Amino acid sequence: MEVVNTVGRRKAAVARVYVKSGKGDITINDRSLQTYFPLEIFQFIVKQPLLVTDNTESYDIKITLDGGGIHGQAEAARLGIARALCEINAEMRPVLKKNGFLTRDPREVERKKPGRPGARARFQFSKR
């Protein structure tokens, strides 16, 4: 099997995912999953597509993460892995789609407006 590469995005985070057959190693920015995401919840988010499709030890995954925060990066990696698994085997698509791993979350931060302290916040009104 050749290398399958896909892209996952979430907020400002971009994940480039490279999947090939192997023994289940996940490398993020040349570091292991456990060192890049020390919290178990983020490790679980990244592994979700593999757990749902029972492929935790079938593929070696190399991820290049850029931009955003830790949560956005974890969800971007999840989307990239799910897309790669669909490309490898189309039979996994219904399971991944049912769990919502193939949907790109479109929510972005609203921009700050001029003359205001935030996107929707106003300065306190003073009558006098």
- In terms of Cβ atoms closer than 10 Å to its own Cβ (0-12, 13-18, 19+), residue 114 is exposed
| Domain locations in the chain as residue ranges | 4-98
The backbone torsions φ and ψ at residue 32, rounded to the nearest 5 degrees and listed phi first, read: -70, 160
The class level of CATH for 4-98 reads alpha beta
Span 48-58, pLDDT tens digits: 999 999 988 98
Let me know: does 27 contact 63? Beta carbons within 8 Å.
Answer: yes
Longest dimension (CA), the chain: 73
What does the DSSP 8-state code read for residue 91? G
Instruction: Give me 32's structure tokens.
Output: 């292991």
- With residues binned 3-state (H G I as helix, E B as strand, rest as coil), the percentages for the chain, rounded to 5, are 35, 25, 40
Span 88-108, pLDDT tens digits: 999 999 999 999 999 999 999
pTM: predicted TM-score of the whole model, two decimal places: 0.90
